[in-house]
């Protein structure tokens, strides 16, 4: 157990559906992240929140909408997705704001998303 949980673990949805992925961290961290992991590709950073403020948004399509209501919870709202959005979506947390550089990330188990 890494202290980061994600639900659901598996999700199948149609292109017209709306669903949400949930992440919760129990580590007292200040930063939370969403990554997309597709086969044979590096981890793609989607969003970063630090102290509940979004600090990075890597040109992610608007059909993905993050929400960070507090420093322990992070959501990824999904709507009108495409089949190419099928992937493993990983949440991570870290201390954040590393002035000296270097910050270990703790990952959840991921949500395996399939878009039909």
Partner 1 sequence: GESVGLHLPTLSVQEGDNSIINCAYSNSASDYFIWYKQESGKGPQFIIDIRSNMDKRQGQRVTVLLNKTVKHLSLQIAATQPGDSAVYFCAENIGGSYIPTFGRGTSLIVHP
Q: Of the two residues 61 and 97, which places its CB atom closer to partner 1 in the complex?
A: 97
Residue 53: CA atoms inside 13 Å, Cβ hemisphere, count?
4
Per CB under 8 A, the list member of 54, 61, 98, 114 interacting with partner 1 is 98
Contact call for residue 39 and partner 1 (CB under 8 A): no
Per CB under 8 A, the list member of 24, 32, 108, 113 interacting with partner 1 is 108
Contact call for residue 69 and partner 1 (CB under 8 A): no
Per CB under 8 A, the list member of 21, 32, 48, 87 interacting with partner 1 is 48
DSSP states along 38-106? -TTS--EEEEEEETTEEEEE-S--TTEEEEEEETTEEEEEEES--GGG-EEEEEEEE----TTS----E
Contact call for residue 46 and partner 1 (CB under 8 A): no
Contact call for residue 110 and partner 1 (CB under 8 A): yes
Q: Of the two residues 33 and 64, which places its CB atom closer to partner 1 in the complex?
A: 33
- Torsion region of 9: left, alpha or beta (phi above 0 gives left; psi -120 to 50 gives alpha): alpha
CA distance 92 to 104: 10
Positions touching partner 1 (CB under 8 A) are 2, 4, 31, 33, 40-43, 45, 48, 56, 90, 92, 94-110
């Amino acid at each position: 157990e890494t202290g980061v949980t994600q639900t659901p673990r598996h999700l199948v949805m149609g292109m017209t559906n709306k669903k949400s992925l949930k992440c919760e961290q129990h580590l007292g961290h200040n930063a939370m992240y969403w990554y997309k992991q597709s086969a044979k590709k590096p981890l793609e950073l989607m969003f970063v929140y630090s102290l509940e403020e979004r600090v990075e948004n890597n040109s992610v399509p608007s059909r993905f909408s993050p929400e960070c209501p507090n420093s322990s919870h992070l959501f990824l709202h999904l709507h009108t997705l495409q089949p190419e959005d099928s992937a493993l979506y990983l949440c991570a947390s870290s201390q954040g704001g590393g002035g000296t550089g270097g910050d270990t990330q703790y990952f959840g188990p991921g949500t395996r998303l399939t878009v039909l």
